[in-house]
Chains A and B, each alone.
Chain A
Amino acid sequence: MKASLSLRASIVSALILIVFLGAWQLATLPPSGGGTVYADPEYAAMMGGAAVQASGMPTPGVVGQTILSQLAHPFYDNGPNDKGIGIQLAWSLARVLSGFLLAALVAIPLGFVIGMSPLMFKALNPYIQIMKPISPLAWMPLALYTIKDASLSSIFVIFICSIWPMMINTAHGVASVKKDWLNVARTLEVNAFRTAMQVVLPAAAPTILTGMRISMGIAWLVIVAAEMLVGGTGIGYFVWNEWNNLNLSNVIFAIFMIGAVGMALDMVFGALAKLVSYQE
């Protein structure tokens, strides 16, 4: 029955795709009546009328062609405003990974301390609670002013948004390690360091990894916005640049790539989570 369930699911998925593409195709068919009619004349003026294709939106076929040609040369480099998608994604990934790793280096040890010590938990909790809901982009002006470097500022923004879920989850995982396991270590006179590494860390690892996975998801959301803001390189900048070029089919292609990379990142963390999970 299991195989047939996934088979049926695939069929439904394929049907949804076909319906979606069909609707898209229908919606973007060039109107047979000739000239473009905009609902809003001001918008039409702003768009410069002629610069936009018949319906404004590219058809699935056009986007498909864009995807194929972009993926055929992902790493071309024709100057600052025209780079292949591979290069742009590599920039974004590099920023996300460095901000994320820095955050992990701070969040996991700090989460350990908070989880182990009720005092530190109480002392740091107000700060965490007020920092957590701040949109990471709100830090951008401060970061740009102090760091004075656009790329480093976006890394900082990634750092500041990744840190909270990792810290909170680490603290929670560490605090809820079974007392029995700690007592086993105590009766064996295991020192604090070995207890932390061999009992607390493996016990809390699944929770910590969940935090890392959430952080990575947020970081990937935020990098697009951050790069739109600071410009220069990266997938976020690519999207914004193509919007300025009014190349919507490249924008759609970029959206698709953002989704694909985000899904791949999530799958990596899913696999890592599986590696450290245990069954009681």
Chain B
Amino acid sequence: MNQPFLKVEGLKKVFPSPGGAQDVTVFENIHFGFEKGEFVCIIGHSGCGKSTILNVLAGLDEATDGNVFMDGREVKGPSLDRGVVFQSHALMPWLTVIENVAFAVSSRWHDWSKAQVREHCMKYIELVGLGHAADKKPHQLSGGMKQRVGIARAFAIEPKMLLMDEPFGALDALTRGVIQDELVKICAATHQTVFMITHDVDEAILLADKIVLMSNGPYAKIAEIVENPLPKPRVRQEIHHDPHFYAVRNHLVDFLVSRSKLIAQGELPDDYDPLHPPVVRPVAEALKLAA
């Protein structure tokens, strides 16, 4: 059987409480997968366990049960194959922008010369539009610029998969838009596989090929997997003119507003199978009839 590039099997996470009596099962029986080159977003309410899943994929956290496979190999511990963009940018404040990226690059390619490392770093720093700030310290940068350095650092090690935990959560709408555009460009150029957490429905529609919907916790489930009907390339200023845009958007908002809670209360379709969460492709009613 053909295995997907990334495969999550029966993932479960229990956080033990000190007494043991009130152990919290954040989620269990989580199954999903996606292919190389896909951009996947995961959406769900606060506390449902998105960050926990991402940390397990990164190898930074261990699941209580279940396995993750990437490219046919089991994920056990962190690896250079998976780059992580942290929500709080996690730049080292005593290093300049280029030194921060170089720290990652020289970890990936131990035998590179200084000039090689520098050239490679500059390529990615310029990719995120920060060529002029390469020798600045993080505290001299704005929040958006710091986050872009974090993205450059993660891209620079050319990982097989990129993991991003609400990378733009702390940014204002304008900056966020600019970086989203950059991300779209970089991903189109590099065919990077990305797994990203977001709270922003529009961001998910712009960036994602697949959107994984998680119901509320505890015992959170993968409610369904939404395929984005909007064709690539998607442009931020234009996607809302796409005939399917509001169909997807309404579907996602409906889920967040009401269905995520109902599912947590047990209102699942009769044929729900956690091994194969339903895949839906919301399209505009008019076009559905025509087709």
Which residues of A are in contact with B by a Cβ distance under 8 Å?
A: 178, 180-181, 183-184, 186-190, 194, 198-199, 202-203, 205, 276, 278-280
Which residues of B are in contact with A by a Cβ distance under 8 Å?
A: 58-60, 77-80, 82-84, 86, 88, 90, 92-94, 103-104, 107-108, 137-139, 157
Most B-side CB within 10 Å, residue of A183, A188, A194, A280: A188
Residues of B within 8 A of A205 (CB): 94
Contact A202-B94, Cβ < 8 Å, known A184-B86, A189-B78: yes
Most A-side CB within 10 Å, residue of B88, B107, B108, B137: B107
Contact A278-B137, Cβ < 8 Å, known A186-B60, A188-B157: yes
Q: Which residue of chain B has the shortest Cβ distance to A191 in the bound complex?
A: B107
Tell me if B's interface is mostly helix, strand, loop or mixed: loop
Residues of A within 8 A of B88 (CB): 180
Tell me if A's interface is mostly helix, strand, loop or mixed: helix
Of B82, B92, B137, the contact of A187 (CB 8 Å cutoff): B82
Bound complex: CA of A280 vs CA of B146, how far in Å?
Answer: 11
Of B80, B86, B90, B137, the contact of A189 (CB 8 Å cutoff): B80
Contact A188-B108, Cβ < 8 Å, known A183-B60, A202-B94: yes
Q: Which residue of chain A has the shortest Cβ distance to B100 in the bound complex?
A: A184
Residues of B within 8 A of A189 (CB): 78-80, 107
Most B-side CB within 10 Å, residue of A184, A189, A199, A202: A184
Residues of B within 8 A of A203 (CB): 92, 94
Bound complex: CA of A202 vs CA of B137, how far in Å?
Answer: 14
Interface contact A180-B90, CB-CB below 8 Å: yes
Interface contact B90-A183, CB-CB below 8 Å: yes
Interface contact B137-A188, CB-CB below 8 Å: no
Measured CB to CB, the closest approach of chain B to A181, in angstroms, equals: 6
Q: Which residue of chain A has the shortest Cβ distance to B104 in the bound complex?
A: A188
Residues of A within 8 A of B60 (CB): 183, 186-187
Residues of A within 8 A of B82 (CB): 187
Bound complex: CA of A189 vs CA of B58, how far in Å?
Answer: 12
Q: List 9 A-B contacts (CB under 8 A).
A: A180-B86, A186-B60, A187-B58, A187-B78, A187-B79, A190-B107, A202-B92, A278-B139, A279-B139
